[in-house]
Amino acid sequence: MSEPMVTLEGVGKTFASRALVRTRSFALSDVDMVVNKGEIVGILGESGSGKSTVANIITRLLKHDAGTYRFKGRDVTGYSKAELMAFKSDVQIVFQDPYGSLNPRATIRNIVRESLIIHRPDLTRAQQDDRVSELMFEVGLGGQDIDRYPHEFSGGQRQRIAIARAMAVEPELLVCDEPLSSLDVSIQAQVLELFTRLIRDHDLTMVFITHDLNVARLLCDRVYVMFQGRVVESGAAREVLNNPQQEYTASLLEAVY
Amino acid sequence: MSVRDDPLLRLDRVSVALRQGGREMVSGVSLSVGRRELFGIVGESGSGKTLFTRTVFGLHDDAVVSGGEVTFDGRTMPAKSHHTEMKRLLGKRIGFIPQDPFSSLNPSMRVGAQITEALYLARGLSPKSREARDAAIAVLAEVGIPEPDIAFRQFPDQFSGGMRQRIVIAIVLAQEPELLIADEPTTALDASTQRLIVDLIVERSRTRGLSVILISHNLELLRQSMDRIGVLYSGQFLNLFQADQLAHQEVHPYTQALFDCIPTKDKTLADIRPIPGEPAGAGFGLAGCSFADRCAFAKDRCCATPLPINDAGQARFSACIIGKGA
Amino acid sequence: MGNLTSYPKGALEWAAIFLAVAILIMALFGGWFTPYDPLQIDFRGKLQPPSGEHWLGTDGSGRDVLSRLMAGAQLTILSTLVVIAVVLVIGCAIGITSAFVGGWLDNLLMRLADIWLGFPPLILALGFAAALGSSLEAAIWALIFSWWPNYARLSRMITNDILSEPFVAGATALGVPTWRKVVFYVIPNAFDVLIIQVTLDISAVMLAISGLSFIGVGAQIPAPEWGAMIAGGRAHAGSAWWVVMVPGLAIFVTALAFNIIGDMLRRELDPTTRRRA
């Protein structure tokens, strides 16, 4: 067994009225979760099941208020400033909405370069530009004019840009919160292919949040099924999705086309 | 055979254009929907599927039927007054189920009153009558609302999304339409509710002998629940086929490519073949096939030759210039 | 910000833009090119109707109305711009801080703004006039003090909206420091709404300054401030229409021009029409 990258033990979250990210999730209670290095872990559930809250806690966009969260064995609540910055370059997130997830007032070059400005101040401007071109090529947007603004790109292209931005800091863990669900069917397949290529080429560890069980079946090694803020079933993707033990998982599977 | 001879709805080379500027958004749609037939229309966003259907059935004010003939139950709509004629049928012989059950119900009106209002408008039943009340409760029970006599007195916000969509369906069924139009009726709902709603529409329509036009971006959903499927792509009508033949018969290259890129239960990662490029969008008035630049089989002439046009009587059709799936 | 010029505009909008630019140029440089000294009294030549010599006539003390109008543009419009610039900076600083910090500070600042909004600007102006003596400065101070809460509340609201966008969450996940978020994420995205508000407020503040001067709380009568010019010409309004009509029209046209531009910007920059183009 490889070393765990993310360990959640009894993690809970109760919401105050204002959330950093707009979610319809309820509070989390008593969530245990492990993400090992090199694993693709799916978190499945309907809207309101708390799966996006888990994503936000793993990326530290939200602070959990019960239980412990250890990243590479170290409790994240005890992080120093330097450790927190290192964490933020190790863990990146890709969101569902490709329209809201890119700063509409920044060019694509600056959006992708932002990561390098923060985490690689050692690079010169020219080196940053080279790295940006390299990343754009990697996500399949090589040859595009990157001095344009997000609204000049399609939904699928924006999602590729969001992925490039996340990959710029060479994260060890990539958290994807429903990255396909607002894309068209033919574009979903393209982005899915991009993810599989990135996983293969970069030895990525990934937390993949989705309500689409068919996508989870294709991509994930292990899955957690969530319902009303709790994990109701977990295990190897093939087993959970072919032979569910819980009634809720079975009902989800039955609803899939 | 008889289905083809006496269709409930027949579209012959129908085109739809924007009212302002007159740009043609969807062109040359020929198809017929038989009595008791479940017909699916599939297309990606920007294909024009929603604009087209809404305009043909008088639900859209920004676009008009700019060419072709629409025949409903043997009566051809006069080109000039298409919109008003269709509006007359809406809510009576044609029922419409919108996308979003959260905004399609009046939040300040009791569920029962919304159904009895529909009963009054469609069938002239007095809203306060015993008969209307009984009919409303019966139809709520029919769509699977538990304790329909209590639901009758409740407000929409006391129901979940799935239950609200059931109420919307109840309102539509109460009108006793012959044709049911549903525009992505499940996209606003949770995945687990999606199938229940589609199954309900299918089952109720079969029982009541209704014809259905279901618009969706999900080809697999339509394949499993509809009889026949029409495919729109960038404003062009590309394909028409029997749903159960999709996996077994040659279809238009776009339909096949779309089918090949959807993750389904029995596909592995290697089975998923993405379509390169992006959909062109509707309204560009391309000379040839709008899918040509993404198509694996495209030849030079695909970009220049006008698309084949279907004869509305045909049950199967492929608008492929090089003859794939025809 | 980028493609303002590409939007189609009607004749009315072009006229308003042309007028606004002309008025701003007049406000900046007009004072140096007046045909006569705007304060030069000439009782023999008083209340002359518009002529080749005095294009817009003379007032009750024989001062050239055109010269006063041009010099007054400087007083009226520059004091308007001063008020706007100061409340914009102070208001946004308070609003953005309030949104970023949140919690008790947010509550404190916003309740303070609410209370402040409760003070009628006129009463404040009278207070300042009593303390500083009736003058244009008193009017400017009064307007600054009563106007900042508008910008504090507006900028706090916009900032909160922007902070809830996923792209800001993405920046947080990346470790983007707060100052960078303000400069590169919040301000550029708030720009549209703020510029609309500024354009609409230019006319409102100008009317307020002229209004205060008219009732004698702002600029004092010999000064060629437009509101004060109307106040000074009131006695002759019946016999010499130009004395009040000219500054009145100037106020009206300027306010209208900036209002039209503001409305146009609001239409063109509306995020619901621009987004997902």
pLDDT tens digits, one per residue of B77-99: 988 888 888 989 998 899 999 88
Q: Is the pLDDT of residue C2 over 60?
A: no
* Cβ-Cβ contacts under 8 Å, A184 against chain B: 44-45, 217, 279
The reported pLDDT for the residue numbered B42 is 95
Question: Helix, strand or coil for residue A233?
Answer: strand
Q: What confidence tens digit (pLDDT) does each residue in C179-225 have? A: 999 999 999 899 888 988 898 888 889 888 888 888 888 777 778 88
Q: What confidence tens digit (pLDDT) does each residue in A106-160 have? A: 999 999 999 999 999 999 999 999 999 999 999 999 888 899 999 889 899 999 9
Instruction: Give me the amino acid identity at A104.
Output: P
* Cβ-Cβ contacts under 8 Å, B276 against chain A: 190
Band of residue B4 on the pLDDT scale cut at 50, 70, 90: low
Instruction: Give me the amino acid identity at A43.
Output: I
CB C225 within 8 A of CB C136: yes
Closest CA to C83 of C133, C164, C138: C138
Q: B279: nearest CA in chain A?
A: A186
Nearest to A118 among C169, C174, C185 (CB): C174
Closest CA to A52 of A25, A19, A30: A25
- In percent, the amount of chain B with pLDDT more than 90 equals 58
* Cβ-Cβ contacts under 8 Å, A110 against chain C: 184
CB B238 within 8 A of CB B258: no
Q: Is the pLDDT of residue B155 over 80?
A: yes
Closest CA to B48 of B11, B16, B75: B16
CB A180 within 8 A of CB A191: yes
Q: What confidence tens digit (pLDDT) does each residue in C99-116 have? A: 999 889 999 999 999 888
Nearest to B218 among A47, A192, A257 (CB): A257
Q: A141: nearest CA in chain B?
A: B277
Question: Helix, strand or coil for residue B18?
Answer: strand
* Cβ-Cβ contacts under 8 Å, A61 against chain C: 169, 172-173
Measured CA to CA, the distance from residue A185 to residue A180 in angstroms comes to 9
CB B105 within 8 A of CB B167: yes
The reported pLDDT for the residue numbered C156 is 95
Mean per-residue pLDDT, C68-86: 88
With touching defined as 3 or more inter-chain CB pairs under 8 Å, the answer for chains A and B is: yes
The reported pLDDT for the residue numbered A17 is 52
State the pairing for strand pair B75-76/B94-97.
unpaired
CB C224 within 8 A of CB C75: yes
Q: What confidence tens digit (pLDDT) does each residue in A53-75 have? A: 999 999 999 999 899 999 999 99
Q: Is the pLDDT of residue A171 over 90?
A: yes
**Least Cα separation, residue A58 to chain B (angstroms):** 24
Closest CA to B13 of B308, B260, B298: B308
* Cβ-Cβ contacts under 8 Å, A114 against chain C: 171, 174, 176, 184
Q: Which chains touch C (3 or more CB pairs under 8 A)?
A: A
For residue C37, the cross-strand partners are none
With touching defined as 3 or more inter-chain CB pairs under 8 Å, the answer for chains A and C is: yes
The reported pLDDT for the residue numbered C277 is 33
Instruction: Record the tokens describing residue A238, joined without a space.
Output: 């093939």
Q: What confidence tens digit (pLDDT) does each residue in B293-322 have? A: 899 998 888 888 888 888 877 888 999 998
* Cβ-Cβ contacts under 8 Å, A101 against chain C: 165-167, 170
Q: From the CB of residue A99, how many other CB atoms can be counted at a distance below 10 Å?
A: 19
The reported pLDDT for the residue numbered A11 is 94
Cα radius of gyration (chain C): 22
Closest CA to B54 of B23, B26, B79: B26
Q: Which chains touch B (3 or more CB pairs under 8 A)?
A: A
Tell if the CB–CB gap between A100 and C171 is shorter than 8 Å: no
* Cβ-Cβ contacts under 8 Å, A96 against chain C: 166
Mean per-residue pLDDT, B29-35: 92
Higher pLDDT, C23 or B38: B38
Instruction: Give me the amino acid identity at A112.
Output: V
Q: Running DSSP on this structure, what letter comes out for residue C185?
A: I
- Kindly list the strands in the beta sheet with A28-36, ordered across the sheet, starting from the edge strand earlier in the chain: A28-36, A4-13, A66-71, A74-75
Mean per-residue pLDDT, B44-58: 91
Q: What is the dihedral of CA C198, C199, C201, C204, to 10 degrees?
A: 160
Instruction: Record the tokens describing residue A157, joined without a space.
Output: 């292209």
Tell if the CB–CB gap between A255 and B193 is shorter than 8 Å: yes
Tell if the CB–CB gap between A59 and C165 is shorter than 8 Å: no
Measured CA to CA, the distance from residue A50 to residue B137 in angstroms comes to 36
* Cβ-Cβ contacts under 8 Å, C177 against chain A: 118
Tell if the CB–CB gap between C173 and A101 is shorter than 8 Å: no
Tell if the CB–CB gap between B279 and A184 is shorter than 8 Å: yes
Tell if the CB–CB gap between A186 and B220 is shorter than 8 Å: no
Q: Is the pLDDT of residue B203 over 70?
A: yes
Looking from the CA of C237 toward its CB, the CA atoms found within 13 Å total 11
A226 backbone φψ class: left, alpha, beta (φ>0; ψ -120 to 50):
beta
Band of residue C163 on the pLDDT scale cut at 50, 70, 90: very high
Q: How far is CA B79 from CA B72, B93, B310, C49, in A?
A: 13, 20, 20, 66
The reported pLDDT for the residue numbered A23 is 46
The reported pLDDT for the residue numbered A1 is 52
Q: Is the pLDDT of residue A5 over 80?
A: yes
Mean pLDDT computed over every residue of chain C = 83
The reported pLDDT for the residue numbered B326 is 75
Nearest to A218 among B196, B220, B263 (CB): B263
Cβ-Cβ contacts under 8 Å between A and B: the total is: 81
Q: Which among C165, C186, C189, C272 is the top mutation candidate for probing chain A, defined by the most A β-carbons within 10 Å of its own β-carbon?
A: C165
Nearest to B220 among A156, A219, A257 (CB): A257
Tell if the CB–CB gap between C167 and A22 is shorter than 8 Å: no
Measured CA to CA, the distance from residue B30 to residue C31 in angstroms comes to 73
- From the number of C-beta atoms within 10 Å of its C-beta (0-12, 13-18, 19+), residue B212 rates as buried
The reported pLDDT for the residue numbered C6 is 44
Q: What confidence tens digit (pLDDT) does each residue in A6-54 have? A: 999 999 988 765 545 554 445 788 999 999 999 999 999 988 888 999 9
Q: How many helices (H) and strands (E) does chain A have?
A: 9, 10
Nearest to B261 among A47, A186, A196 (CB): A186
Mean pLDDT computed over every residue of chain B = 90
**Least Cα separation, residue A254 to chain C (angstroms):** 32
